[in-house]
Structure 1
């Protein structure tokens, strides 16, 4: 389960088999919708900046500031902490406001934060404290953007086109995964840290310019009488997720994945340059291999659940995608061997991870009422991605105490808890059709076939 929001993005309507399988970024019917096109372009630019910054900031710390495992773990935890601290509040807030406003303000804030980092670098003041401030600021605003764009899709797109729209949005996120890590790694390695930070800022600025041009006045839940207290709205979202068998399982599996994945990535980002002696640009290219895999995963997500059943696809894809990370600690030898192996691992991880993302998003959207979409997305994001800061700290601690290879093996093995939780739950029994909203939680679906 790669992403809690998408999970985590984190990645529909009544059946994912209705999704486009053509592989084109935007189906023709949606391409004619100018507002959806603006959302699609803006979200793509935003994801490009986000995926680049997730590589740029740690690589600046490792390659420029010579950060050790503990400091890298702290940097990653600071960037991930806003999800745990704010996701529930943001979800309750987004459900009562127009998502366009939330997204453009989040983009503007992230562009200014990374632009400030670039300026600090040019002036010689881009140290670890400044990186911590930038990472936290970008993390806070990313929570707002990610919750808002997930809710915006339901408000801007008709339900009978929602699966195609979700597939198109997830495809654009996959494309950003191809370019973002490679661009960030190359810029840090070949040019300079300020230029790398500035490139991320430009991506967010492009997203701001595109999304602010959306003209459709999206429907938002009517605010009749006195607005309920925010904590009451948060409690409603928590209770809804906890009371729904499928959503509860998604939240638990996402938490297990995100905790272990964050711990794994902390050691991973140290293992590649220090044990395998790869440059920043090569690290970026190997990480970018998840992008083509995710594109393939988006295409498979439009076909496989409708053929084999959503439950079978979720469990098997999560097991294959998470299990391949167990190969990383075994890598050694010349770069002619390790680089292609890393590319293959990341491609497989991206393919099956994206397949899980899209299928999980389809299940979540299908069983969630429109007025609860923001709170449900935020709740699952909080319980899933909220575990990531703790995982990053644990990964840094284990890498320092046990060494990189041993810590990678242990944390990668922990990722297998996610498919195990899904296999033992009613989620594994979902068939070819997604459950309608009036089906009670725990209903037993006939096996696919």
Structure 2
């Protein structure tokens, strides 16, 4: 698939349909991120720790099943996995407005749906990241990842304001019903992709644990991927702590309504939309390696601004923090995912994606529970300050790694490593990809 004039990959039928499906899914997910905690806090009167536990339930599947999902995705076609995940999430989230309609909705159902939908998200995200190089090839990964990251930005802006006002005007169950429909819409677009996907070759002697171990060894044996994993895991642990208590902080300490919360989030998250448009340009100007570690440092600075938020003019700190963190999160995400896709051989990509997701999203339920516990013991504002300091300190993973000495992240020849390639671990050597050594 090649770029054809203005619009780039969006001129290609199959990528365009993948992009639209992803946008629909992201919009719905953002609505739920706003609506589920508001439903718990406002309608079901959840405590600080109960609200944090709900955030933990949404991401617990990454911790429990992430590695297995990667090994299984490497054996399957990716598009059917994404279709099943979308349909499952449609049914699960659709149960919440039905229960609310009959007056039987409670926190246990919210926890169950959040966890089960999280399983679908683990499989969808692993398959989605693995599918992209198969669909567009590796030469256009920066553009492809930037286009998909723009969906996160658009969804963050639209979902934030839309979710806040939908909850305020029509109640949280209505917002969640719209989220459920968005997954069905995503599945319909995925079903219209024309390009056939060959079935991946299966190992002669499939051993799930051995295959999982191969992906883990590759990540931690490759110094750049190991640094990215350590940085992202630490950032997302404390980002989850921040997010788990943020809604409680804004409602109970800053005394904001859902509509105002959504509006403020929209203004701040415009930074993410700008980042999606500018990441490619920034990477070309600064170099991909420099852009990666600089965005991580600035991300920590942004998180340190959140605890300054207060009523009145103090809301400006929340807007500034949201804009800076959203901009840098998207830049860091695009470059980190692209590095992973470029450094990993095709046959390991699902397992490497799952390993990285375990190191990132797998820590989020633990971070959410830590945020709830710290917020209960030491106060919400103090917890936000501790989270910000930790996110800033996490930049040391990259600043002290080989990434700091590079202008651009290394690229390698993209021929795959054969399944029978000899190594001590039974697979590709972590510092060699496609038969060519990765150099700094």
Q: Scaled by the length of structure 1, what TM-score is found? A: 0.89
Matches within 5 A, 1:29-428: 29-223=8-202, 225-226=204-205, 228-334=206-312, 337-428=313-404
Deviation at 1:224, TM superposition (A): 5.7
**1:151-202 CA-partner distances (Å, limit 9, x unpaired):** 1111111233333222211112221111112222221222112211101011
Contact 1:106 1:141 in 2 (8 A): yes
**1:223-250 CA-partner distances (Å, limit 9, x unpaired):** 3644x11111111110111111111111
Q: 1: CA distance between counterparts of 2:204 and 2:298? A: 50
Deviation at 1:341, TM superposition (A): 3.2
Q: 1: CA distance between counterparts of 2:263 and 2:130? A: 32
**1:30-88 CA-partner distances (Å, limit 9, x unpaired):** 23321111111101101111121112111111111111111111111111100101111
Q: 2: CA distance between counterparts of 1:53 and 1:333? A: 26
**1:92-139 CA-partner distances (Å, limit 9, x unpaired):** 111111111011111111111111111001111121111111111111
Q: 1: CA distance between counterparts of 2:50 and 2:409? A: 47
Does the residue aligned with 2:310 lie in a helix, a strand or coil? coil
Equivalences, count: 421
The 3 A distance-change label for structure 1 pair 379 and 290 is farther
Deviation at 1:206, TM superposition (A): 0.8
Q: 1: CA distance between counterparts of 2:6 and 2:148? A: 11
Range with greater deviation from structure 2 (249-258 or 186-195): 186-195
Contact 1:289 1:350 in 2 (8 A): no
Range with greater deviation from structure 2 (215-224 or 35-44): 215-224
Q: 1: CA distance between counterparts of 2:145 and 2:63? A: 25
The 3 A distance-change label for structure 1 pair 305 and 29 is closer
Deviation at 1:434, TM superposition (A): 3.2
Contact 2:17 2:190 in 1 (8 A): yes
Does the residue aligned with 2:81 lie in a helix, a strand or coil? helix
Q: 2: CA distance between counterparts of 1:433 and 1:256? A: 21
Contact 1:90 1:378 in 2 (8 A): yes
- Superposed CA RMSD in Å reads 2.2
Contact 1:237 1:375 in 2 (8 A): yes
Q: 2: CA distance between counterparts of 1:19 and 1:291? A: 29
Deviation at 1:323, TM superposition (A): 1.4
Q: 1: CA distance between counterparts of 2:438 and 2:34? A: 42
Q: 1: CA distance between counterparts of 2:67 and 2:374? A: 30
Range with greater deviation from structure 2 (159-168 or 37-46): 159-168
Contact 2:166 2:175 in 1 (8 A): yes
Does the residue aligned with 2:139 lie in a helix, a strand or coil? helix
Deviation at 1:220, TM superposition (A): 4.0
Higher relative contact order (CA 8 A, sep 6+): 1
Q: 2: CA distance between counterparts of 1:124 and 1:366? A: 51
Contact 1:19 1:164 in 2 (8 A): no
Q: 2: CA distance between counterparts of 1:157 and 1:220? A: 17
The 3 A distance-change label for structure 1 pair 289 and 88 is farther
Residue 429, structure 1, aligned to residue 405, structure 2: yes
Deviation at 1:305, TM superposition (A): 2.2
The 3 A distance-change label for structure 1 pair 405 and 210 is same
The 3 A distance-change label for structure 1 pair 279 and 433 is same
Range with greater deviation from structure 2 (287-296 or 233-242): 287-296
Deviation at 1:27, TM superposition (A): 5.5
